[in-house]
Structure formats: C-alpha cells, structure tokens
Amino acid sequence: MKNKILVTGARGFVGRYLLDHLKGNKDNEVYGTDLEGELDFQLDITDKQRVSEVLKEIKPNQIYHLAGFSSQALSFKFPEKCMEVNVDGTMNILEAFAEYGVGRKTMLVVTSAAVYGKPQYVPIDEKHIRQVTSPYSESRIKQEDSVLAFQSDVNVIVSRSFNHTGVGQPDDLVIPEWIKQVAQAELGLSDPIVKVGNIEVEREFSDVQDVIEAYEALVNSNTSGIFNVCNGQSYSLNDLLKYIVDLSSKDIKIEVDPEKFRPVDVKVVVGDNSKLMEATSWSPKKDFYRDTISNMYNHYINLLK
C-alpha cells in the first residue's frame, strides 16, 4: 500500500527538495501545495475551509508541514500575520488531518532553532529553555505548544531545524550571498570584493539534502515529540568565507560593510542532534565544504555565465 503524502509549502527552497526526494520512491503518492497554485493544490493554510477541502480530497497518511511565515525580520513588521500563519494555519492543517487522514497518521511540523534564543549552553539540546526574542520566535513557540497539546490520533513530530543551505536558497542569506559575490567576481561581472558583516562567530549549518532525509527518517520512524534537526557541528564564518574566496582564481578582497555588521554576544551556536540519531537511522552525509559549498559555487558559475 502506497503512502499518501502531503507536503505543504512545497514550492519553497526546502519543499522543492523534499517533494522531489519523496516522489523518487515508487511507494509514495505525493502531493504538494503552494500559495500560487503551481503545484497540485493552491492552498493558503489560513483558509480553514480550503484546508479541509484539500485534506478531504487527498486523504493522506503523512504530512510534511513546511508552509509558514519564516522571516524573523519581517515578523517585526507583520507580527499578527506571522502568528496567524504559523499558529492558526498549522492548527487548520492538523485538525483537518485528524478528520480526513487515513491509517497511521503522522505529521511533521517544522519549527526553528530560533525558539532557543540566546544559547545558555552549547551544544543546544531539546531540553534547552525557549526564549521569545522576536514575534517570529514567539509564533514558533506557540506553534509547538499548540500541536503538541492537540488531542487526536495524529502522531505529531516537531523539527527544530537549525541553519541549512544548498543550491537554490535565496541569495539574501549569508552563505549564498557570499558565494554569488565570489562567482560574479570570478566571471568579471563585478569588482573582486566580498562585502560582509560580522564573521568572527561560529554557526551551525547543514546541507539541505541531509535535512530532508532527516525529515523523512523521523516521519517513517515510530517516534513523536521534539527533535533538533542539525549537523551537530559549528563552522567559523571566517573560515567558510576564506574557503569560498579560495574557490576563485581572482585576488578577492574582503570588505566589512557597516550596514551588514552587527556586534553579537553569541560567539558559537551549535545544536545537539543525538536524540534524532538515536531515534532514527539518520546521520549527516554531506561534507559541508566539499559538497555543499562547492556545489553552490559551481551552480552560480554556470548560472551567471
């Protein structure tokens, strides 16, 4: 019997990888939703009636819930919308799934490591306190509380996802932004300069393909509750930038942009993925430098030619 799977937010950066990955398994019957209607179903998750219509038609047994309001910066400008999408929208999906889902119903809800706020210790495990630092983090905390308190026969898994990147990630984020600048310089499309903010910190990063495989491993396991999804390793931004610059044959200068520079008092952020690894057979496979960074660089070189 095939798994009938629904992926919400399937047109986003991670959603596209996940959709393709799941469709690669002949035992899966996979449906994707997006706001624009370019995939199987157009769906605004805050529209409760439309959510019910879609779930009633699909009758899934697995849901990967990736749709959400994901910008911390924009959450300060649109706090009510952020809460509506991440909390109310998620509950619309969960309630409709409880009513129209079939078989052993499992729903993965992707939240964020932003719920931890300023780390009290590293590596950060799932027992770390949660702290509201923005309307976004507040919405993710309420999202978690709402789905875990829901009384139904749906098996709920919460993924607290740490930073992840890969080919296709929007270039307003730090890693693809740097790589694009270096690729432009290599091709002679811009001055050989990379403008950066504060690089004297260490941050957790994973390859997007490792992340989607972690999601799949969680959904197909006999587990529930909260899990960090992360590489379990921090990387010096200074070292990452040097590696990216060295991919180019040009003499590229690094320039601190005052508009990008933000003093930070959190020097190291890294997650503890031991709970995830104990509950599943998953482990990260990608070498972040050799695989992730190099693939992204080659992608930009080919894209910008």
Residue whose structure tokens are 């949660």: 130
> Quick check: is 224 in a domain?
no
Whether 197 and 136 map to the same domain: the answer is no
Question: In terms of residue numbers, what domain contains 59?
Answer: 3-161
pLDDT at residue 280, as a whole number: 97
Q: What's the CATH code of the domain at 45?
A: 3.40.50.720
Bridge-based pairing of strands 202-204 and 225-229 is unpaired
Whether 14 and 157 map to the same domain: the answer is yes
Question: Measured between alpha carbons, how far is 297 from 208 in angstroms, rounded to an integer?
Answer: 15
Instruction: Tell me how far CA of residue 168 lies from CA of 15, 177, 296, in angstroms.
Output: 11, 11, 8
> Quick check: is 44 in a domain?
yes
Whether 151 and 180 map to the same domain: the answer is no
Whether 152 and 22 map to the same domain: the answer is yes
Q: What's the CATH code of the domain at 240?
A: 3.90.25.10
Residue type, 149: A
Whether 29 and 95 map to the same domain: the answer is yes
Question: Measured between alpha carbons, how far is 17 from 26 in angstroms, rounded to an integer?
Answer: 16
Whether 52 and 73 map to the same domain: the answer is yes
Q: What is the pLDDT of residues 215-252, one digit of tens each?
A: 999 999 989 999 999 999 999 999 999 999 999 999 99
Whether 20 and 102 map to the same domain: the answer is yes
Buried-exposed string 7-18: b where 16+ CB fall within 10 A, e elsewhere: bbbbbbbbbbbb
pLDDT > 70: percent of the chain: 99
Q: What is the pLDDT of residues 20-79, one digit of tens each?
A: 999 999 999 999 999 998 999 999 999 999 999 999 999 999 999 999 999 999 999 999
**Domains identified in the chain, total number:** 2
Mean pLDDT value across residues 111-118: 96
pLDDT at residue 265, as a whole number: 67
Paired strand residues for 42: 34
Q: What is the pLDDT of residues 125-139, one digit of tens each?
A: 999 999 999 999 999
> Quick check: is 221 in a domain?
no
* pLDDT band of 1, cuts 50, 70, 90: confident
pLDDT at residue 58, as a whole number: 97
> Quick check: is 259 in a domain?
yes
> Quick check: is 214 in a domain?
no
Question: Measured between alpha carbons, how far is 239 from 222 in angstroms, rounded to an integer?
Answer: 39
